[in-house]
Amino acid sequence: MKRIQLASPGGLDNLQLVETERPSPTEDQILIKVGSSSLNYHDLLVAQGHIPTEDGRVVLSDCAGEVVEIGSAVTLWNVGDKVMSSCYPHWLEGAPEYHLLSFIGDNEDGYSTEYIAISERSVTKTPDGWTLQEAATLPCAGLTAWRALVDEGRLQPGETVLVQGTGGVSIFALQLAKSMGARVIATSSSPEKLERLKSLGADDVINYIDEPQWGKAVLAKTGGLGVDHVIEVGGGGTFTESVKATKLGGHIALIGVLSGPAVSQMILPRIFMKQIRMSGIAMGNQTSQLAMLDYLDTSSIRPIISETFGLADLASAFQHQIDNKHFGKISISISRD
C-alpha cells in the first residue's frame, strides 16, 4: 500500500510517498480502507514542522473509509461498514484529560495512508447518506464548530453568530447556526467570497480590508448590542475586534491563531467589564461527535468542498491551503476502487 510520511524536521518538501506493507488488525482493531481525508490548519502546522513530531510520522487527522477486516474480539463493526475518524481517538467521553488527548496525525500516525489498523472504539459511524468524501470533512472542522456553538455556546434560535473567513470551521459554523435559527454575520477580505457566504445564508457580510475596525461595523449591524457568539479563528490579529463585537455576556469560542498568537493586554479590561464568556475549543470527545452526527442525520447540511487532491499531491494541497485559495474544505482522495 501507499502512504505519505513526514521526514524530520518537517516542511512540504519532506512529505514522502512510500510503499509499505498493509497492516493487520489485532484482536480489538479494525482495518480501514481510507477513502478520503481533508486538510485542517493543525495538519498544516504539523507538515511545516511547526508542531514537531516523530520522524516518519503519517500525517492527517481526518478520515472516512470502509472496514475491510476485523479482529477476533471486535463487536462494534462489521466488514463493509462505513466509518469516520475521531481526532482524539482515546477521548470518548467526559472532560478532557492529558492522557486522553493524543492527537492523531501528530502524536500518533494519521490517515495519509491507504489502510490503517486502529481500535474499534476510535471511530464512529458516518452521517446517513453522506459520501466518504463528505464525511471526511467532519472530524476536526465540523466537530469544532459543533462544540463551539452547541456544547459550549448553547446556541438558541434568534441569537446572532459572527464567523470569520471562509475556512472549514467557519463555513460549518455558518451552516449549523442557520439551521438552528440563528442570524449570521460573516467576514472576509474577498468580495467574491463574501457573495458566496451570502449564498450560504449569511445575513450580513463585512469586508475586513475595507473596514479594518470591523468590530464597530458588527455593532452597527446589531443596533449597538453586539453578537451572542463569535467563532474566533484568527487569534491575535482579530481577537481585539472580536471582543468589541461581542455583546454584554456573550460567548467567544477561541479556536485558531491564523493571524498569530499574541493578544494586546489593553483588551483584557473590556473582556471582564463586558462579562464575556470564553471557551477554548480543540475539537471534542466522541460523545459530542455522535451528537453532531445525530443532528446531521436530521438536517440538509452538506459540507462545502473546495478542491480535491490525490494522496501523491498532498504537498500541493497544503500549498493551496497556504495560498488561501480555498472556500470550505480541501479534500484528499486516498484510495480508489
**Chain segment 180-202, per-residue pLDDT in tens:** 999 999 999 999 999 999 999 99
Predicted local confidence at residue 138, as pLDDT: 98
Predicted local confidence at residue 82, as pLDDT: 98
Q: Provide mean pLDDT across the span 6-34.
A: 97
Q: Provide mean pLDDT across the span 297-326.
A: 95
What CATH number does domain 153-280 carry, 3.30.70.1150, 3.30.1330.10, 2.60.40.10, 3.40.50.720?
3.40.50.720
Residue 66 CA to residue 68 CA, distance in Å, equals 6
Q: Provide mean pLDDT across the span 59-86.
A: 98
480555498: which residue's cell?
Answer: 326
Q: For residue range 95-147, what is the model confidence (pLDDT) as tens digits?
A: 999 999 999 999 999 999 999 999 999 999 999 999 999 999 999 999 999 99
Predicted local confidence at residue 284, as pLDDT: 95
What CATH number does domain 2-140+301-333 carry, 3.30.360.10, 3.90.180.10, 3.40.50.10490, 1.10.3680.10?
3.90.180.10
Q: Provide mean pLDDT across the span 251-263.
A: 73
Predicted local confidence at residue 151, as pLDDT: 97
Q: Cell numbers of 311, please?
A: 494522496
132, 36 Cβ separation under 8 angstroms: yes
Q: pLDDT band for 271, please (50, 70, 90 cuts).
A: confident
127, 298 Cβ separation under 8 angstroms: no
Which sequence spans correspond to the domains of the chain? 2-140+301-333, 153-280
Taking the model in full, what pTM does it have? 0.93
Percentage of residues in the chain having pLDDT higher than 70: 96
Residues 6+ positions from 147 with CB-CB distance below 8 Å: 253, 281, 283, 284, 288
Q: What is the mean pLDDT of the chain?
A: 94
Q: Say yes or no to pLDDT of 270 above 90.
A: no
